[in-house]
Structure 1
Amino acid sequence: MMTTDASPATRSASGLPLVEPSLAEMARADGVRFLLAMFVDLTGKPCAKLVPVESADELQAEGVGFAGYAVGAIGQQPSDPDLVVLPDLASYTPLPWVREGLALVHCDPHVEGVPWHFAPRVILKAVLARAAAQQVELFAGAEIEYFLVRRGEDGTLAPADTQDTEARPCYDARGLTRMYDHLTGISTAMNALGWGNYANDHEDANGQFEQNFAYADALTTADRVITARYLISVLAEQRDMTATFMPKPFSDRTGSGMHLHLSLWRGGDPRFPDDADPRGFGLSDLAYRFLGGILDHASGLQAVLAPTVNSYKRTGATSTRSGATWSPRRPTYGGNDRTHFVRIPDGQRIELRGGDGATNPYLALAVALAAGLDGVAREVDPGAPGAADRAELPPTLLHAVEALRADAVVTGALDAAGPGVAEYFAGVKREEFLDWHGTVGSWEHDRYLTAF
């Protein structure tokens, strides 16, 4: 059962405890009739049960059960006890734009009363607790890129906007306007929820868009990424389109990243800015050490930041129709330069550009935080901006899995809530690579059918 004790900060002027509204009370106040009790597996797949508001008190007190093995990659076998997910009321999100009377609440899976250590949200919370013990807090922003497509009768994909054919469509006002209803629908929802949507644009590939919202603490941002993907997907379906976060759905076009803007705070104050920075980027020594840790662990991070076979067709691309791939190949850093693994837009934050549309935000923030804090602990100097003396990033998912297994800091982050997660995740991803590797496709037919 989830309970909240009243602290001095949650008392009224009379000294009596302020009682936070229950899940049922919040839902009824918003006219909600059904709640999606949602969580994700290690691959980021959103899983939920639809709970009527009449059972909201039971959901809050006792949770709702799932057959864990059926969920997917979450560390269970058919014989294991149920996952019971308990809602985090701070994540309660009405979604009338999806269905009138619908709301979502993110949940933490438990097994036999204990937080399940294979659950991504539980893992991130464990790594955040480690940071809190060091008196620092991670804040994060996320850039969500995706394609809007339709599938033809022959199975081929094409941009949902058939007029989106420019060789360099980025920021094209006409393409943006043709998707006005979809984009403004998402923007309206984000702003109504208090996320602070501040820009929506046509990205570098035909059919590709990005929608941005304000940064927040790391857990809130991760929850919002999952909510946003859900919202974007279902609203696209309502307009007979498919929203895909697949890293690279088209061979000749730019892929979709998910760049993370990171900063450390202590006691409500940002710890990255320093106007006296001799390197000229406006960052503190703490920020550089954090950045150095991320660069040191870049190869090990990639299996989490770029977690699919398809991811490496984005990072390994040599050209696109627009002339740029926007995906880093070496763990370098620099100023306002989008070719680096870590970009420094200003003295408030660093931008980790290794992630893509398939990234699980809970895991990505967990491993990035662990890598950065390792750099802080070891006082790592990231070296000169643009220095390319570090090895190239892994060229395939299999190489990335090997790098993950060899990196004790990254595996330690995945195992932060309990043992065995890192090796399980690595095994899932290795099997994904081998499954793809064992599939014969059109590339092989074109190359080998009459070659010998």
Structure 2
Amino acid sequence: MTLEAPAPVVSDDLTTRAHQDGVKFLLALFVDLTGKPCAKLVPVEAADALQYDGVGFAGYAVGAIGQEPSDPDILAMPDLASYTPIPWVREGLALVHCDPYVEGEPWKYAPRVILKKVLEKADAELFAGAEVEYFLVRRDEKGQLTPADAHDTDQRPCYGARGLTRMYDHLTEVSTAMNALGWGNYANDHEDGNGQFEQNFAYADALTTADRVITARYLISVLAERRGMTATFMPKPFADRTGSGMHLHLSLWRNDHPLFPGDREHGLSETAHRFLAGVLDHAHALQAVLAPTVNSYKRTGATSTRSGATWSPRRPSFGGNDRTHYVRIPEGDRIELRGADGSANPYLALAATLAAGLDGVHRGLHPGETGAQTRPELPPTLLHAVEALAADPVVSGALDAAGPGVAAYFGELKRAEFFDWHGSVGSWELDRYLTAF
């Protein structure tokens, strides 16, 4: 992780800013609880109306955002600090992240609203960096999913210079966009799975980083489609290859002063040790938010891959510069949480993790011994994780930060997702049972 990225340019007039940048249309965007990006395309002539009145959505049609067909519309109100021209997608296009409102009040089921509420209540500021991993894939003539690069077949492709170079056009276009936006892209690499890549950008305050993760997924997906590829952030698209994580680098600050560096173990402060202990203490419930899909548990439950390592934690342990732990400590100024995957909603992930860590600080918890594998294994399925979430008032409380009932709603969504998968019949069952009896 490098120095903090420059702060985005903030305009107090959306129309003026858009005209200065040659913007013709604005993508007014927010995400539902699953992380699905939802948007309306607003012409620059209606930018004033967007800024002051918002733009309306039928909430039930959005998806997982806590509405029924009879509920009043959601109004998406733009946060001008997030205004981002994106000419690499379309010339004259800009994106602005929005906070959903219903009848004049911030909508409690909106992930961005939830994170803002948790940050408001915190007694310290959270800074975060996110490692966005993804696969570039295509379907072959038989409909099978394969890496988009047909030559990407090495058993251990990680950091491969030739595989990286073959995807040069895509990777450099994404990198150029990130740097033009002031994100500070500092590395782009081929990851451990065939067809898997990671593009890193500098850390920022938690809300800005969450917005950038959503923007990055959108940019990467659209630019990949332009080249006939699909960019997937699915945690485990291939059973025999490493899954995609979204590792979070975290630090607390107060009054522009970092709270994590200190003279304790691994160069951390007492505050950092307590924060780390809180994350470990709530790890089982956190996984419902950090790894929120059925497929997530194919990643954390993997025992082997073609490369020989899964890079996914099995227990809530911590250590120094050791990538096998749930929490890694690469430097004394931050911790790296490795439990989140590519399907995690960044707003919810950061909100829940901050609440867990601050609970450890306020309770004076101790993380135990470095490298100790004494805590129970992480949940083996999404259903187990949801049950842990329901039993954890701190993590559930983070989801309920903007109003009660959100954690229960999220839990029911995820239970339904699990049983929908459980009720399907797949090729594994047919291969195993069709003529077994």
Counterpart code for 1:352: L
1:219 corresponds in structure 2 to 207
1:398 corresponds in structure 2 to 383
1:430 corresponds in structure 2 to 415
Query: Residues 175-197 of structure 1, C-alpha deviation per residue, up to 9 Å, x if partnerless?
Result: 00000000000000000000000
Aligned-residue offset at 1:423: 0.1
Query: Residues 232-253 of structure 1, C-alpha deviation per residue, up to 9 Å, x if partnerless?
Result: 0000000000000000000000
1:13 corresponds in structure 2 to none
Aligned-residue offset at 1:386: 1.1
2:172 corresponds in structure 1 to 184
Aligned-residue offset at 1:154: 2.5
Query: Residues 393-433 of structure 1, C-alpha deviation per residue, up to 9 Å, x if partnerless?
Result: 00000000000000000000000000100000000000000
Distance 1:27 1:444 in 2: 55
2:28 corresponds in structure 1 to 37
Distance 2:17 2:256 in 1: 28
Aligned-residue offset at 1:20: 4.7
* Alignment counterpart, residue 153 of structure 1, candidates 141, 147, 167: 141
Question: Could you tell me the TM-score, scaled by structure 2's length?
Answer: 0.97
Aligned-residue offset at 1:387: 1.2
SS in 2 for 1:343: strand
1:288 corresponds in structure 2 to 273
2:238 corresponds in structure 1 to 250
1:16 corresponds in structure 2 to none
1:208 corresponds in structure 2 to 196
Distance 2:159 2:211 in 1: 28
Segments of structure 2 that go 5 or more residues without pairing to the other structure are: 1-9
Counterpart code for 1:183: L
Query: Residues 39-87 of structure 1, C-alpha deviation per residue, up to 9 Å, x if partnerless?
Result: 0000000000000000000000000000000000000000000000100
Query: Residues 334-373 of structure 1, C-alpha deviation per residue, up to 9 Å, x if partnerless?
Result: 0000000000000010000000000000000000000000
Please identify runs of 4+ aligned residues in structure 1 that moved more than 4 A. Answer: none
Which residues of 2 match residues 283-432 of structure 1 at below 5 A? 283-432=268-417
Aligned residues: 428
SS in 1 for 2:159: coil
* Alignment counterpart, residue 79 of structure 2, candidates 80, 84, 88: 88
Distance 2:322 2:40 in 1: 43
Distance 2:140 2:108 in 1: 42
Aligned-residue offset at 1:151: 1.2
Distance 2:199 2:216 in 1: 9
Counterpart code for 1:100: E
Distance 1:273 1:176 in 2: 35
For the pair 1:273 / 2:264, whether they are aligned, the reply is: no
SS in 1 for 2:121: helix
Query: Residues 120-140 of structure 1, C-alpha deviation per residue, up to 9 Å, x if partnerless?
Result: 000000000011xx2x10000
Distance 1:20 1:257 in 2: 34
1:165 corresponds in structure 2 to 153
SS in 2 for 1:198: strand
* Alignment counterpart, residue 79 of structure 1, candidates 70, 83, 90: 70
Aligned-residue offset at 1:156: 1.0
Distance 1:409 1:220 in 2: 24
Query: Residues 156-180 of structure 1, C-alpha deviation per residue, up to 9 Å, x if partnerless?
Result: 1000000000000000000000000
* Alignment counterpart, residue 64 of structure 1, candidates 13, 37, 55: 55
For the pair 1:260 / 2:248, whether they are aligned, the reply is: yes
SS in 1 for 2:245: coil
2:4 corresponds in structure 1 to none
* Same amino acid, percent of matched pairs: 79
